[in-house]
Chain A
């Protein structure tokens, strides 16, 4: 009960790293090319930007990150359920090269 109301400390480096790895793992399976690339780019930028935050800001950024990971997880399933059979030109090109 003493913990309730006390300010949360910054997340440990290992926790942050695990969160980042989870993002990468979920993003790899995403069915849509554009959104997959966007999530990859955006999570990299977000983690880089929040490197130098103070404890309270880092804690809230971490919570936000966890919520966004849940969104990515859910939407990864939804997008794969409705993935078109014909792939995006950009994905084919990568396969060819």
Chain B
């Protein structure tokens, strides 16, 4: 097309543009592509990013807003039939955590000009990406007291768990036919064990005590001569209980069994040292420690060496254990997150503990019939799982729409059955249904905790007032002694 023909085609748009369209600055080039829809239907100027205008940077709208449904008067947001005055306050840190701005700052160059593949050996782009990935490996290793050569990058803790369990058992399948895990593990561990069972291995699922901790005597009794691996998670994602990994490590060393631990919720939050804990394999996750999603790591001990059968076939990257291009920006982000976690750990611990106490006291002082699920002493402070008696769980959650919390873990929240972790603790079904998990993190503020207390107490009291069971309890009737008649 000739220039003048194109210009003619654009002139229609120019005309509309020139009558009162102040959003776009008058650029010298007539070739600025104007969204035709905008020109034809006069949308408000705020819908488009102003080019080359830093003063207007604050008014730019994030691209994903287009498919959310803001309320007509631009107040609040409606999604899935729920309308809220604003974005809810976030108390679900076990599901995922916001990316720390320092982590984002470290990652962005690798999405811009330093975009090379770390496995390219022949040019600067590859060398600089490789250097960044190796630096990230060192940062992760320092956090857990390991050697950088023992860190393998994966796509997340789920993949690391799969490689640990299936990889170890497949490699040693001649001699080792038995695996031990607990009933409160993450779904990916339990599913990997089920897969192993289908292949002919035997798996023991250890029960836990009422406070969520593993019984060490039961573990000792379950170990057999052909046990290949014991898998116990360090910090439980639903109830926040910290397992005695050091003691379990002692037992496993004595019986020469590999110990794998899913430390996704523990890394960067409680001090971890793989030598002190005598751990042979450890899964780490990036997005639980204020890093990016889509990256994790697997720690594999070298002395004494742990061998695994790779689950991914390919070009032999990551020492042949996990083929595939290592995503340099994500790895850099995870490394930066680990470095920050190491330096901020004591400060975060103090702060989160004070917030947890505030939340706990705030709710307990205004409500009764509230129980903490899981051990109170051996617990990570940022996870508080509470059950509210005589309240229906779904309605409680629907009423708490201004607080982003979860009941049960994110992986199982689609199904209506009560969480298997709470069932393993022996929590009764009605209490398991009303459990709420409050996740506190580095970025949570005191004001948010106070608001969460206010909203939770309000909602629970409202629901209890409507509940006939609550009335009966107030009158002193013991619900368990009632003979419900069958009409």
Question: Which residues does A use to contact B, with CB under 8 Å?
Answer: 31, 33-35, 37-38, 42, 45, 68, 71-72, 74-75, 77-93
| Contact in complex: A38, B105 (CB < 8 Å) | no
| 9 examples of A-B residue contacts, CB within 8 angstroms | A34-B443, A34-B444, A35-B98, A38-B445, A71-B101, A78-B108, A80-B57, A89-B85, A90-B447
Quick one: CB contact mask for B138-158 with A, threshold 8 Å, 1 for yes? 000000000000000000000
Interface residues in B, total, Cβ within 8 A = 34
Which of A37, A80, A89 touches B402 (beta carbons < 8 Å)? A89
A83 vs B57: C-alpha distance when bound (angstroms): 9
Question: Which residues does B use to contact A, with CB under 8 Å?
Answer: 54, 57-58, 60-62, 65, 68, 70, 74, 76-77, 84-90, 98, 101-102, 104-105, 108, 347, 402, 442-445, 447-448, 451
For A31, the chain B residues whose CB sits under 8 A away are 58
For A80, the chain B residues whose CB sits under 8 A away are 57-58, 60
| Contact in complex: A45, B347 (CB < 8 Å) | yes
| Contact in complex: B442, A90 (CB < 8 Å) | no
Q: State whether A90 and B70 are in contact (beta carbons under 8 Å apart), knowing that A74-B105, A81-B60 are contacts in the complex.
A: no
Which of B61, B88, B443, B445 touches A85 (beta carbons < 8 Å)? B61
Q: State whether A37 and B443 are in contact (beta carbons under 8 Å apart), knowing that A72-B101, A82-B62 are contacts in the complex.
A: yes
Minimum CB distance partner of A89 in chain B: B86
Closest 4 CB pairs of A and B: A75-B101, A34-B443, A89-B86, A82-B62
| Contact in complex: A93, B76 (CB < 8 Å) | no
Minimum CB distance partner of B63 in chain A: A82
For B444, the chain A residues whose CB sits under 8 A away are 34
For B101, the chain A residues whose CB sits under 8 A away are 35, 71-72, 75, 78-79
Chain A proximity of B435: nearest CB distance (Å): 23
Dominant SS at the B interface? mixed
Q: Apart from A77-B54, A86-B70, what 20 extra A-B contacts exist at CB < 8 Å? A: A31-B58, A37-B447, A38-B445, A68-B102, A71-B102, A75-B104, A78-B108, A80-B57, A82-B62, A83-B60, A84-B62, A85-B61, A85-B62, A85-B70, A86-B87, A87-B86, A87-B87, A89-B89, A90-B448, A90-B451
Which of A77, A86, A87, A88 touches B57 (beta carbons < 8 Å)? A77
Chain B CB within 10 A, most for which of A85, A89, A90: A89
Chain B proximity of A17: nearest CB distance (Å): 23
| Contact in complex: A35, B60 (CB < 8 Å) | no
A53 vs B127: C-alpha distance when bound (angstroms): 39
Minimum CB distance partner of A84 in chain B: B62
Chain B proximity of A52: nearest CB distance (Å): 17
A74 vs B106: C-alpha distance when bound (angstroms): 11
Chain A proximity of B301: nearest CB distance (Å): 34
For B84, the chain A residues whose CB sits under 8 A away are 89
| Contact in complex: A91, B62 (CB < 8 Å) | no
| Contact in complex: B105, A34 (CB < 8 Å) | no
For B104, the chain A residues whose CB sits under 8 A away are 75, 78
A75 vs B469: C-alpha distance when bound (angstroms): 52
For B60, the chain A residues whose CB sits under 8 A away are 80-83
Minimum CB distance partner of B448 in chain A: A90
A4 vs B101: C-alpha distance when bound (angstroms): 33
A87 vs B77: C-alpha distance when bound (angstroms): 10
For B65, the chain A residues whose CB sits under 8 A away are 84-85
Q: State whether A89 and B445 are in contact (beta carbons under 8 Å apart), knowing that A82-B62, A83-B62 are contacts in the complex.
A: no
For B443, the chain A residues whose CB sits under 8 A away are 34-35, 37-38
For A88, the chain B residues whose CB sits under 8 A away are 86-87, 89
A68 vs B343: C-alpha distance when bound (angstroms): 14
Minimum CB distance partner of B105 in chain A: A71
| Contact in complex: B86, A86 (CB < 8 Å) | yes
A31 vs B87: C-alpha distance when bound (angstroms): 13
Chain A proximity of B289: nearest CB distance (Å): 15
Chain A proximity of B347: nearest CB distance (Å): 7
For B448, the chain A residues whose CB sits under 8 A away are 34, 90
Chain A proximity of B349: nearest CB distance (Å): 13
